[in-house]
Amino acid sequence: MARRWIRLKYQDAPGRKVFVAGSFNQWRPDEIEMVDALGDGVYTARVLLPTGRHEYKFIVDGAWIADPANPETAPNDKGSINSVLLIE
C-alpha cells in the first residue's frame, strides 16, 4: 500500500498545546504533537499516511476540534464531526 507524507496545519494563539489524532493512530490524543516552530501560532505536523480515507481532529489544550480549514467532514458517534482526508 502506497503512503504519502501529509503536512497538517492549525492556526491559533501562540503558546497552546496542540496535537492531532485520527483513524491513522487509533485516536491516541497525545501521540502526534504539532509544533509552532516560529512562535506565530501556526502549528504543523507531518504524518505519513497510507492511501485511503482518514478521519482526524486536533486536540487544542485538551479540547477536541475539527480542522477549521478543511470543509470535508463526517459525523462521528460522539454527536460531533471529524475532519476527513482522502489520500490517493
> What CATH number is associated with residue 21?
2.60.40.10
Total domains in the chain come to 1
Residues 78, 11: Cα–Cα separation, whole Å: 24
User: Closest Cα to residue 11, out of 32, 30, 31, 38?
Assistant: 38
Domain encompassing residue 13 = 3-87
- pLDDT for the residue numbered 1: 75
pLDDT in tens, 65-88: 999 999 999 999 999 999 999 999
pLDDT tens digits, residue range 9-49?
999 999 999 999 999 999 999 999 999 999 999 999 999 99
d(C-alpha 25, C-alpha 19), whole Å? 12
